[in-house]
Amino acid sequence: MKKTMAFLESYFFDIFALQIKILPWKKGNELPFFLENSYDFYELSLFGYSCLLMEPKENLEVTPATARKHWEQVQKKWKGLCIYTQPTITAYNRKRLIEHRVPFIIPGNQMYLPDLGIDLHEYFRKSNSQSIESFSPATQTVIIYALFHSLKEGLTPSELAQKLDYTLMTMSRAFDELQGANLGEVIRQGKERRWYFRDGRHALWQQAKPFLKSPVKKCTWLIHKQKLTVAGLSALSHFSHLNEPLLPVFSIGPAQWKALIKSGVKEVPSSEGAAMELEIWSYNPNLFAKDGLVDLFSLYLSLKEIKDERIEAALEEMMEKIE
């Protein structure tokens, strides 16, 4: 049985002190093949009602409108209450499920069961009215770190502070932003919070993308080459069929840039006579660099606003390799 079901059992106990037993539904093979192939089904008894849970299979993305259509078809085969469930959900999709009148349970987030008179909202979450338009550099590094690592056990501010070289306070603020953006779920466990994103890395990238921005704060040119992390079009040429630029492009983090300036490195006002182009990033590109190249997610963000068909095609080629 999936971890989501175990989480649901503890969720009901935490809220209602109700011990429930969730079991796999053995008659799922009586449904149309596409439903059996798209969802896992479980049955349980809740307040005297026979309930059937339908959970999308791992890595399956279901829109609220599609969930409504599928829920209606399953409900016709079930005499009790059919309930849609998934580990996490965005605020927008949660609103759309309610508009479509689909009963649902997102453990640790919301339980919407109008037939039972239950609508428990943000049970474990703190109220956060802050409107998040874009993530801070620190929060963006958390996202990129998560894209390269497993999130099954969740991440804590103290773990990330050590791995990403930020203060604990900065990582705590990053968790506030993640919570404010309704990205995944932040659950307090004892004295520490833990961030989970249970929908997989592809879904994380798609849901986080609107909040992510280019890491490039400034571009400059240097007279002498420095041994730094390859970035920009130079890096993109390594990941695609794009030709290398005439002037090599490198990147550097804010702290490293200050140290470089103190060492006496000279900037020039244009590419004329320069040996390299240098991007000063809002976070250290070496955090996720591999083989001397910046990571693909940051590279995509640094170039996505350039309106050039060749570059757009090269970025698409690069991201297809990731997926």
Question: Which residues span the domain enclosing 24?
Answer: 3-121
Which tens digit of pLDDT belongs to each residue from 244-266? 999 999 999 999 999 999 998 98
The CA angle 204-174-120, to the nearest 5 degrees, is: 70
List the CATH number of the domain containing 165. Answer: 1.10.10.10
24-31 long-range Cβ contacts below 8 angstroms, 24+ apart: 25/52, 30/77, 31/73, 31/74, 31/77
Which of 121, 148, 178 is the C-terminal boundary of a domain? 121
Q: Tokens 């969930």 map to which residue?
A: 67
Given a contact cutoff of 8 angstroms between Cβ atoms, the answer to whether 270 and 220 are in contact is: no
For residue 155, being part of any structural domain is answered with yes
The total number of structural domains in the chain stands at: 3
Q: Would you say residue 124 has pLDDT above 50?
A: no
Which tens digit of pLDDT belongs to each residue from 15-74? 777 788 899 998 888 899 999 999 999 999 988 889 999 999 877 888 999 999 999 999
Q: Would you say residue 119 has pLDDT above 60?
A: yes
Which of 186, 211, 236 is the C-terminal boundary of a domain? 211
Do residues 250 and 236 both lie within one domain?
yes
Structure tokens at 135: 């993530």
One-letter amino acid at 216 equals: V
For residue 176, being part of any structural domain is answered with yes
For residue 129, being part of any structural domain is answered with no
For residue 131, being part of any structural domain is answered with no
Do residues 149 and 165 both lie within one domain?
yes
Look at residue 126 in the predicted model and tell me its pLDDT: 40
Do residues 183 and 225 both lie within one domain?
no
Look at residue 127 in the predicted model and tell me its pLDDT: 39
For residue 47, being part of any structural domain is answered with yes
Model's pTM, two decimal places? 0.61
For residue 128, being part of any structural domain is answered with no
Backbone angles phi, psi at 18, to 5 degrees: -110, 120
For residue 264, being part of any structural domain is answered with yes
Do residues 230 and 277 both lie within one domain?
yes
DSSP 8-state code for residue 184: S
